[in-house]
Structure formats: C-alpha cells, structure tokens
Structure 1
Amino acid sequence: MISVDAYRESVTELLGRTPVTTLPLADAAGLVVAADVHAGVSLPPFDNSAMDGYAVRAADVAEAGPESPVTLPVADDIPAGRVDVAPLEPGTAHRIMTGAPMPPGADAIVMVEDTDAGTETVRITKAPAPGNHVRRTGEDVELGVVALHAGTVLGHAQLGLAAAVGLAEVAVYRPLSVLVVSTGTELVEAPNPLRHGQIYESNSVMLAAALRGLGCRVDVVRSVVDDVEEFRKIIEPKLADADLLVTSGGVSAGAYEVVKDALTGQGVQFQKIAIQPGGPQGNGHWNGVPVVTLPGNPVSVLVSFEAFLRPALLSAMGHTAVDRRRVRARLSEAMSSPSSRRQFRRGFYTPTEGEVTGVVGPRGGPGSHLLAAFTQANCLIVLPEGVSDVPEGTEVDVLLL
C-alpha cells in the first residue's frame, strides 16, 4: 500500500500550479493574488475630516469652553466630494462633513456636538487640539507601497482595499475548472422513484459543493452507468474544457469497476492507499487532462477530498495555507483502528477552558457508508499507522472542519 503522505504528494504534483489571469474584482473573491499590488493612490488620498463639524485653526478657539464659548463666522460649507475647497482665513470656520477635504489653513475639526450647529456663525464650546479629528494623507496606505502581497487570499476586506487603491481588476491564479463524474448503474437522481437495489446519487452533489467552496468552476455528470464504452463516450468530449477530472466509484477490485476498466492503460494508475476509509484510489492523466479517481462510498469520498484533493487544489490555485487547522484533544471514549492504515474518523471536538487540549469523541462508526454521522461532526480524528487500540483519555490529532 502507498502511504497517505506519499499519495497526497503525488496528487499535488499532478495538478501543479494554475496559470495567472487578470479578473475584475467582482470575479476574484476567494482567489489568490499572483503579484504584489501597489497602491495607485494614498489612503486617504487627501487630508479629510473624520467628523461632521467645523474646520478651524486650533489657535483661534484655544480658549473655548462651556463657560467661555468662542463664536466664529462660518465662511464656507464643505460637503464630501467637493473639489474646489477655499483656504480657511484666520478667525473663521468652515462647516465640514465627514470625508470632506480639509481646507488649507485649517488644522483641527470641532465636532458638531461641541457647537450650536450654526450656519452663519458657530458657537464653539470645546477647544480642539491641533490635528483633532483629521485623517492625514497616507495614514492608512502610502502611495506606491505594496497594499496586497502576492499570495494574499482575496476576501471581502482585501477586495475592498484593492478597489480603494484604484484597481478595477487584479492578477490572480486562475481557478481550476473541474469535471465531476459519479458512476454506478445503481445510482438514481432525485426525485425519481427508487426501485429495489437502487440508491440516490449524492457524491457529485457533495464534491461539486466542496469544489465550488474552494473557488473552482465545476461541471457535473451524474450517474454514469457501469459500461466502459458509455463512460468514454460521455466523458471524453468534455475533457477539452477541464483542468481536472474527478470521478467517484468504479475503482475497487471487483467486477463492473467502470472507471478502473476504462482508464487502466490510458495514463491513470490505480493504487491501494494506507487510509481508512478510502483505500482504493487512482490518479494520472487521460488525454492530457489530470485525473483523480475516488472510491464510491460517500464518507470515503469526503475523507479523500480532505486528505488528498483539498490541499492539492488549494496549492494549485496559489494558496500557501492548504491544511485544516490541527489541534490535540483527549478521547472521550476508547477507539480502535487497523494498524496498517491511517484512520480518519468523524468526530466532535469541544475546547476545554483553560487547557491546551480539548475533548473529542467519535460520531458514528468507521463504516464508509455512514454519511449522516458526517453531518454531526466538526472534525476528523486522526489515528495514525501502527495504532490499533486507543484507550479513553489518549491525546490524538484532530483536524477541524
């Protein structure tokens, strides 16, 4: 059997790194910046008011107080967006709104709450210090500096910053286009009625959702029957538009293993991996397109996605943090595992206040068909190779989902 780590590395190498493309900001959410983004403007781009109030010379109102207000004529009104701001003459005030440019000569803002809100004259009851409520040019970002470094994941805040420094589009690693194929003559798509011996197809739904969650573009072919010629006829024409083909089912050692039968000798190697669940796997190229073949049981599909596909896909699209967060936790009950394999069990992790380790317990048994237990889990419990019986209270590794 191939080790989990060796097989993960082979899947990662299979995908490599996607090309760089330039996309509008609206289409770049979740993608990774491919080159440093330099600020085309300073943030703020000009000195501006942080408050609604009055722009003043601090020296003119230095003696202002509740018992000794200072009254100044209001010489101008400055709303946000005004571009022709006149200088502030000594002994006057300009009424100003939040975000409006500071008039030349002014060095402080008096909040409207510290005035009588006058429009012809204003009575000021609190003396501001120089610089009070003034946002300085470049206080956040200076012109020309790196605003977003290559490798940054574009969340909503990062996209907002890119827009604020003047970008309409950004260079990113192109999202992968993935063709997802589920196989099995027994599969039926809901809401069609089931006959005895049939089951509803779910693997493609899970995989497509997981892939889209990483930013991949996904095309789905559901419920391909266990016929080699039919498989090739349906899938081969779609390979031209795919960066990756991911299949589920048809890779075990029995008869009617359509994926294994169709792709053996075509550039895809099928192997047994030292993992539970999800031992039978395969990867390679078919007609020049990378292929990853997964087992058919739903929990095997999800565990294989977490162990092999997810890190490889993230790496291919430029991410540097590709692993789930790993913590240590004490088992709330005894567990067992085949010593020749690394077992991934669904679990529920609870942090323990004041302690480094939390507590974790399994959800459901080890069976690869027990999908409902996965919906009750918030982690995967990792029981390493060489371990068979794990007593209650043992510290184990936990991958937080």
Structure 2
Amino acid sequence: MTSFEETCGALAAFDVVRDWLLDGLAPVAPVDLRLDDAIGAIAAEPAPAAHACPPRDEAAVDGWALVARDLIGASSFAPAVPAVPPVWVEVGDALPDGCDCVVDAHGVDTQAPLVQVLTDAIPGQGLRRAGEDIAVGQLPATPGRRISAFDILCARRGGFASLPVRRPLVRLIDLESAHAARLTADFAAARARAAGADVARVSCKRDVASTANGILDEPADLIVLVGGTGAGRNDHTAAAIAQAGERFAHGIALQPGRTAAFGRAGHIPVIALPGQPDQGLAVWLALVEPILRVLTGARRRDPVSMPLARKISSGIGVTEIVLLKQTERAWTPLSVGALSPAQLVSADAWCLIPAMSEGHAAGTPVAGFSLHEEP
C-alpha cells in the first residue's frame, strides 16, 4: 500500500505551518450587537461610560435619610433629635441634599412629639455612592474577554443598548463524506461558535472544481474544509485549495492530523481537516483555535503548569498531542498522539510535544491547555 508521504511528499513542520498561518493575521473589525445577542461573543473596545451610575447617592435600603453627624452616640437610652427632620426614602431613591446615611424604620421613633433616632450611623451607611456601580470612563466589558451575564448586567445598568464585539465568520465546508467526517464537522462548528465566531455551514461535492468553487463562493474570515485530505482516489481537497488560491502545505508533521492541508484564498486562511475525528480534532486544537483567538481579539489563554505524574515518550521528527488528566497536583498523560472520544471525555487538558523532543521525564513541569473550557 502506498503511504501518504510517498503520495504527497514530505510532511511540513508544525511550527512552520503555524507561523505561516498566523503571519499577517489581525482581528476582524468590530460590530455592534444588541445586549441580548452579545453574550458569549468576544468584546471589542467599548465606549467608556459617559455618566456615573448612580448619578448621585441613592438609598440601598428602605428607611430614613439622615445626617450621620447628628446621630453621634445615639441609642435607645439616649435618643438623638436630628437638626433636620428625616426624609423617608426607598431603595433607588436619590438622597436629599445634605443627607449621608439611611437608617431603617426600627431605628427611628416618629410617634413622639419630636422625631427621635435610636441608633447612631456612619456616613455612607445604607446607601450607594454616586458612581459606585459605574464610574465615568469605566468600560462596561473587558476587551478580548468573552461577554458574560455580568457584563450584560453592567452594560444595562450603565444605559448601554449594545456592545461592540469581534465575531469572525467561519465558512465550514462539509464535503460529501462518510459519517466520521460529519462528526468532525459537527465538532468544528460547535467549537467555532464557542470561540465567538459565526458559522456558515455548507456542503459540496468532492471533485476539485466543486470544492474550489465552494472555497471562493462567499466572503469569510476563515475557511475550514472537512474531509478529502488523504491519498485516496476521491481525495481532492488539497488540489482544490491550490486551484482556489495558494496551497502552502499538504501534510503536516503533527500526530494525529498529518494529512491536513493549508493554504489561502486571497488573504483568507484555508484549512482542510482530515475527516477522521481524532485527526481533525488535533488540527483544530493546535492550529484553528489559535487563528480564531487572533480573529476575535481574544486574550491569550494561559496554560496551567504542573509536574508530570509519569513520563511521556515521544518520537523525534513529529509534533505530538498529549491528553492530560489532573490527578492531585500533577498531570497524568492519558495518550500520546491519539485522541479517542473516551479519552477526550476523561482528559482535562492537552499539550504539544515538540518535534525535536523525545518526551518528558516524570516530574517535569508541563503546560497544559484546558480541554473543556470554551476556547
């Protein structure tokens, strides 16, 4: 049987392909989304708040607005008679001028001929200061971070109707393939949306002309094809990339994932994932998600460094993906160069073993990237 390398030539180095894909890549232009639609997207640079919120001191509890200095030493045994009569306020009401605290109803006796306060208070008690929720110049969301329900709450409180986000469009081309390739495409679509991208999923025939037309069909920020990357008689994806634009490499020294193909259509990166799920998932984790982080402007994910519970053995010449499981305060390797569904469910993180490394000894600190958090 003819090997892939014999058919397609030498495998491109992982680092070379990664650097080529990322070279010149920049975040997409921001778009404004209504707050209901913005959650989960990656925040761009929002406009700072022009007004403080609340605009002035307001009541945080229901009670009587008073001046704290009039209540020094007040108690049920020595009530204080405030110089200024108290004003009843409820949560959210602006405090009357001059007042700086709110005392609850049980602390004030309004039945006596003179209003008496039965407790002391300190300035700021029972109220929310002006600008405490949002100060002038504060951002309602952090650029590069996924917009959460907390960000939406902050934006609504500050009077924002929308937020700017970076949401690249990924065109996912599902070639008419076997069931395994469709599983890979399903995974890719889900991970792309989780990364903050929009996904336009289309299908096309597996011949060169149809696939090339699919690549050029509609505008996109990233084009991902699934299937047709091997050396089989019906595997024409790499040739279609070359016809549609520029093919940089067909075959990469990454295990799993070696039959992947890479190119550009104009300035748009084009990545062809192998149809087998473990092969396609490896290329997605190692190469597609870094591209999406650049396009969305997402903050760099910091890996978690822990020592290995046991050694990792790796072959020279190929970058290998290792699945890791956290046990105590160490990483336990589950597999090297393999991504079975059962192990993916059990694993907590993954890492890469460089091509020129034979692995790591037990106890060596290894940086693991979270597998199950959103990319």
**TM exceeds 0.5?**
yes
What residue is the counterpart of 1:283 in the other structure?
Answer: 262
What residue is the counterpart of 1:84 in the other structure?
Answer: none
CA distance in 2, matches of 1:346, 1:108: 57
Answer whether contact 1:11 1:309 (CA < 8 A) is retained. no
What does 1:140-151 correspond to in 2, within 5 Å? 140-144=133-137, 150-151=143-144
Distance 1:141 1:287, change over 3 A: closer
Distance 1:14 1:117, change over 3 A: farther
Answer whether contact 2:109 2:116 (CA < 8 A) is retained. yes
Answer whether contact 2:42 2:145 (CA < 8 A) is retained. yes
Deviation at 1:243, TM superposition (A): 2.9
Distance 1:208 1:14, change over 3 A: farther
CA distance in 2, matches of 1:111, 1:336: 68
Is 2:341 the partner of 1:367?
no
Distance 1:7 1:97, change over 3 A: same
Is 2:95 the partner of 1:102?
yes
CA distance in 2, matches of 1:109, 1:148: 31
Is 2:4 the partner of 1:26?
no
Deviation at 1:118, TM superposition (A): 7.2
What residue is the counterpart of 2:68 in the other structure?
Answer: 58
Answer whether contact 1:182 1:203 (CA < 8 A) is retained. no
Matched residue SS, 2:326: strand
What residue is the counterpart of 2:128 in the other structure?
Answer: 135
Deviation at 1:289, TM superposition (A): 4.9
Kindly provide the amino acid, as one letter, of the partner of residue 136 in structure 1.
R
Deviation at 1:309, TM superposition (A): 1.0
Answer whether contact 2:192 2:198 (CA < 8 A) is retained. yes
Count residues in correspondence. 360
Deviation at 1:346, TM superposition (A): 1.5
Kindly provide the amino acid, as one letter, of the partner of residue 266 in structure 1.
A
Select 1:244's aligned residue among 203, 222, 229. 222
What residue is the counterpart of 1:183 in the other structure?
Answer: 175
What residue is the counterpart of 1:204 in the other structure?
Answer: 185
CA distance in 2, matches of 1:214, 1:365: 25
Is 2:48 the partner of 1:38?
yes
User: Normalising by the residue count of structure 2, what TM-score does the alignment of the two structures yield?
Assistant: 0.83
Deviation at 1:148, TM superposition (A): 5.1
CA distance in 2, matches of 1:151, 1:200: 32
User: Normalising by the residue count of structure 1, what TM-score does the alignment of the two structures yield?
Assistant: 0.78
CA distance in 2, matches of 1:60, 1:162: 38
CA distance in 1, matches of 2:110, 2:233: 85
Is 2:283 the partner of 1:293?
no
Matched residue SS, 2:367: strand
Deviation at 1:348, TM superposition (A): 0.6
Distance 1:375 1:225, change over 3 A: farther
Is 2:284 the partner of 1:305?
yes
Deviation at 1:215, TM superposition (A): 1.4
What does 1:162-241 correspond to in 2, within 5 Å? 162-173=155-166, 175-183=167-175, 185=177, 187-188=178-179, 201-221=182-202, 226-231=206-211, 235=214, 239-241=217-219
Deviation at 1:317, TM superposition (A): 1.7
CA distance in 2, matches of 1:309, 1:242: 15
Distance 1:43 1:258, change over 3 A: same
Kindly provide the amino acid, as one letter, of the partner of residue 133 in structure 1.
G
Answer whether contact 1:268 1:282 (CA < 8 A) is retained. no
CA distance in 1, matches of 2:205, 2:69: 84
CA distance in 1, matches of 2:67, 2:266: 74
Deviation at 1:236, TM superposition (A): 5.5
* Structure 1 range deviating more: 37-46 or 129-138: 129-138
Distance 1:45 1:262, change over 3 A: same
Matched residue SS, 1:38: coil
Distance 1:284 1:36, change over 3 A: same
Q: Which runs of 5+ in 1 are unaligned?
A: 73-89, 189-198, 353-358
Matched residue SS, 1:203: helix
What residue is the counterpart of 1:81 in the other structure?
Answer: none
What does 1:331-346 correspond to in 2, within 5 Å? 331-346=308-323
Post-superposition CA distance 1:165-220 (Å, at most 9, x none): 232123333x11212123354x14xxxxxxxxxx5730111011100101111122
Distance 1:232 1:142, change over 3 A: closer
Deviation at 1:116, TM superposition (A): 6.0
* Structure 1 range deviating more: 49-58 or 146-155: 146-155
Matched residue SS, 1:283: strand
Distance 1:105 1:16, change over 3 A: closer
What residue is the counterpart of 1:93 in the other structure?
Answer: 86
Matched residue SS, 2:243: coil
CA distance in 2, matches of 1:390, 1:19: 42
Answer whether contact 1:57 1:106 (CA < 8 A) is retained. yes
What residue is the counterpart of 1:264 in the other structure?
Answer: 242
CA distance in 2, matches of 1:120, 1:102: 25
Q: Percent identity?
A: 25
CA distance in 2, matches of 1:151, 1:330: 30
Select 2:324's aligned residue among 310, 324, 347. 347
Select 1:5's aligned residue among 12, 15, 34. 15
Distance 1:389 1:177, change over 3 A: closer
Matched residue SS, 1:160: helix
Answer whether contact 1:108 1:128 (CA < 8 A) is retained. yes
Answer whether contact 1:37 1:149 (CA < 8 A) is retained. no
Kindly provide the amino acid, as one letter, of the partner of residue 319 in structure 2.
R
What residue is the counterpart of 1:75 in the other structure?
Answer: none
